Amino acid sequence: MHLAADRDRIDRRPIAPILGLWQHRALIGQLARRELVQRYRGSVLGFLWAVATPLLLLAVYTFVFSLVFQVRWSAQIDDHATFALVLFAGLTVFSYSADLLTRSPTLILSHVSYVKKVVFPTEILVAVVLAAGLVQIAINTAILLVAAPIFGFSFGAGIIAFPLVLTPLTLGLLGIGWLLAASGVYLRDLGQVVGLLTTVLMFLVPLFYPLEAVPERYRWIVSGNPLTFFIEQAREALLFGRWPDWPGLGLATLIGWCVAWIGYLAYMKARRGFADVL
């Protein structure tokens, strides 16, 4: 009874989401490692797929948009190799976000056994997905750091700010993930809807084209997309070594924290009815 009462009590402090995840950091790490192992278990290449998959997608996208559609990023970036690196940096951020968005609506539905366990903190499942995604980001970044100097990119001090660019993005994704995970228990069609919207989102951020290529009257659609800011800042840090937009990053961190807090409160409240629905 006391355990159930403790689990039903919601910590409403703004710091509560981070404190809760920090408290369960060992469990999050263990589940993230298990997820990565299960993802590639039994395959011939094993964990090498984590390297092969983004490289294959990069080759396909570069062929289609750079060779077939003849997209040029700018007057300074007009060859296929540098186009590929710019695309790869953007895809690293977008894939991290898209994976969380598409998986969150079915996250609780695919871990029903955890819901039945009163002592299991189901709120960490969103953090597990993000932790596994950060491993993929680390792999992609290592690939980029090896390839970029070969094609003439020189790193600057701004590259160390890349983790700071990911911080507000991760906070925002945490909140959105909690909202989608909780809603997905009650709205079973949400997974299909979010999957479709994520596909649309891919073409509403400057992944395959520069922001300047969008006609002025429609540019607000792309520039107003929150992911656009993080993709642009990641490229600035990783490829050009420039420091991020500090005021913009500060505002993004504040917004991300608020989204994480709201998502956490909504999830913890909705969690009380999971067992009845499932």
In terms of residue numbers, what domain contains 231? 17-277
Does 75 fall in a domain?
A: yes
Record the tokens describing residue 229, joined without a space: 């800011």
Which residues, other chains included, contact 210 with Cβ-Cβ below 8 Å and sequence gap of 6+? 73, 74
The pTM of this model reads: 0.89
What is the band of 66 on the pLDDT scale with cuts at 50, 70, 90?
low
9 belongs to a structural domain:
no
Q: Kindly report the average pLDDT of the chain as a whole number.
A: 87
Let me know if residue 5 belongs to a domain: no
Query: Which of 2-6, 56-60, 137-141, 178-182 bottoms out in mean pLDDT, i.e. has the lowest?
Result: 2-6
More confident residue, 48 or 230: 230
Dihedral of CA atoms 100, 106, 108, 114 in degrees, nearest 10, equals -100
The tokens for 184 are: 């997905």
pLDDT in tens, 43-53: 666 778 888 88
Render pLDDT for 167-223 as a digit per residue (tens, 0 to 9): 999 999 999 999 999 999 999 899 999 999 999 999 999 988 888 888 999 999 999
Give the tens place of pLDDT for each residue, 140-173: 898 888 887 877 777 777 889 999 999 999 999 9
* Predicted confidence (pLDDT) at residue 1 exceeds the cutoff of 50: no
Q: Is 126:178 a contact under the CB 8 Å cutoff?
A: yes
Please tell me the total count of domains within the chain: 1
Band of residue 3 on the pLDDT scale cut at 50, 70, 90:
very low
Domain contains 3: no
Neighbour-count burial of 212, counting CB atoms closer than 10 A to its CB (0-12 exposed, 13-18 middle, 19+ buried):
exposed
Instruction: Look at residue 178 and tell me if it is in a domain.
Output: yes
Domain assignment present for 10: no
* Residue 130 CA neighbour count, 13 Å, CB half: 23
Task: Examine residue 11 and state whether it is found in any structural domain, yes or no.
Answer: no
Decide if 262 is inside a domain. Answer: yes
Residue 2 has pLDDT above 50, yes or no: no
pLDDT greater at residue 88 or residue 118: 88
